[in-house]
Structure 1
């Protein structure tokens, strides 16, 4: 009897093992056919091809010899021209300042441009090509007929009224999503390096798009155009320079500009605004050119987010993902 019981016991074990194996195969097939719902909700962007290489002669022809009449913008890194590509498409051409080209002559410009050009998101301006020659570095971008946030807020007399409170909140949330994509959604991660109002473009529907991302390597030591948008640690000997935390600081300054309608003024805006936010004197903080929002709570929260971005040391600052999550919720609450 003992031998018969052993045989029966072994037989049951074999049957159980085979059953578990078959069950595992069935579960694997079901999972392959029915991926998790969270994966289905993720936005799938089409794969973007790497940046094209343009001959300098083609760029020269596209800009009519870098004609001054084609200039649509000037900045600390270079001059932007409207141009017609060899295929007849309207493009934007950024010609890097010669002095910056000379100081970065041995830097891997082509490889960096190819990496940056792979970034694709609704809230960044795509890089579609580049050109390089002795003394010349050119970046070719999509031309989307945009005007900078800086122009709307500070240069156009009617721009402030065009940017009502709802649009300002949409701009803030859109920029946060764009930075979040650069920091977390693309590999390798991209540090913008200089988040400021003039590097945020608005299209005809006031959709915000970031430009000049990943280009801080061209002018790592230059303060012109950066002071007021980077933290004190940016210039420190240890751990200084551009990083995710310095991008969050710059975004906080932009939030203060959206709330107050004031320029950064090389850091004066932060020093003026933080005490007002801390003491809840929001009637003095908000842009006087607009009627106060009917519901102040979302904008008070926006002010607190701005304070957290600019009022802390790097190690204590919120991540852009945390900031974007809050602003996305505020946008849904106010604008939908």
Structure 2
């Protein structure tokens, strides 16, 4: 029986806002004992990680502006600074009617900037929450260096006195997790085409972090609640408080505390504390499985054998005849059989236990872009034929495990 160390705990049965990030010290214990070594992060912290972020005990708007990324890297895009009073006015004093949700950082409100009439999302740091000053600064610096259509845009921030707030572009359709796991009678469920579009968009955002940013960045917290959706289900990655500069030069990994979210954390990372780009690939595979199956990464309302999504899926990967059992029942058979097989094969590759067996994000992007381009129409073509039309697709297929 496989052991997936980041999948323990009972937080998954609560709202997404209660998802807890995990922390673990470096350990050489066997995988069967890893669960015991993982602790829920209980308080804010400022550590030596991300050494380019200097003393953070006295953060101000001026401090954030002065903390530049390494000289050799992506140019920093200056984010706007806001006063606390401006953001109070934008949210009508954080009116309950404008409340959008809550996460580890704190509460999120819809707001309207008075000088531009722009609709925005405003996150307010909870001083007693799971994220601290370090995460706030990392978020500002990472998004200041980033510019990609599949990453949420940071408009600005406020670091005035003890107030810590982040101002983002407003994403009207909310999070992927909300669409998959919160049933609302006035909202249609995600169809197959929307799911593949979201998966491809999220993959392109991750590819930008891994391959296009300089220095490259490991996301470290890829999950449904951090994938926000704009009009027509345009996906953007958000919440970069745990982002980490990846290994450079001939280095293969970054040694760090194990942090992430239960159910999404790569077992090899949890066991060793060695963070690699493939750690994100595992998390992406879990998210892709959620999109395909409609199941949660961890769901303690299910039987013991089905609580961990990856553990439940692994035996089914070995028999193609069981693939239809993995499709989200909400789809009611509305999916292309070949498309289902291919997407499950990609997910199976991403959640393999050995890091060197996982695909590169560029190959995942190529394969998912192809699947997203194959529009499924249940009225005219119930089973969408597929063909290998690209080198990247062939690369994915050639690396497939026996599924």
> Equivalents in 1 of 2:257, 2:106: separation in Å?
16
**Per-residue Cα deviation, 1:239-297 (whole angstroms, up to 9, x for no partner):** 15xx4222211111111111111111167011101211222211211112223246311
Cα distance change on mapping 1:133 and 1:236 into 2, 3 Å:
farther
Task: Report the CA distance between 1:100 and its aligned residue.
Answer: 5.1
Is 1:181 matched up with 2:214? no
How is 1:232-311 mapped onto 2 (pairs within 5 angstroms)? 232-240=267-275, 243-265=276-298, 268-280=308-320, 281-293=322-334, 295-311=336-352
Count, aligned residues: 283
TM-score by length of 1: 0.75
| 1:38 aligned partner | none
TM-score by length of 2: 0.63
How is 1:177-256 mapped onto 2 (pairs within 5 angstroms)? 177-216=204-243, 226-240=261-275, 243-256=276-289
Cα distance change on mapping 1:239 and 1:49 into 2, 3 Å:
closer
Is 1:63 matched up with 2:103? no
Is 1:331 matched up with 2:372? yes
Bigger Rg over Cα:
1
> Equivalents in 2 of 1:279, 1:159: separation in Å?
37
> Equivalents in 1 of 2:172, 2:187: separation in Å?
19
Cα distance change on mapping 1:157 and 1:111 into 2, 3 Å:
closer
| 1:11 aligned partner | none
Is 1:168 matched up with 2:208? no
Contact 2:142 2:243 in 1 (8 A): no
**Per-residue Cα deviation, 1:138-191 (whole angstroms, up to 9, x for no partner):** 111011322211121111255895311121111111111111112212223232
Q: Say which structure, 1 or 2, has more relative contact order (CA 8 Å, 6+ apart).
A: 2
User: Which ranges of structure 2 fall in alignment gaps of 5 or more residues?
Assistant: 1-74, 245-255, 300-306, 378-403
| 1:54 aligned partner | 82
**Per-residue Cα deviation, 1:68-120 (whole angstroms, up to 9, x for no partner):** 3321011122211111224122111111221358x744x49557514422322
CA RMSD of aligned residues (A): 2.8
| 1:76 aligned partner | 104
SS of 2:85 mapped into structure 1: helix
| 2:303 aligned partner | none
* Structure 1 counterpart of 2:126, from 81, 97, 104: 97
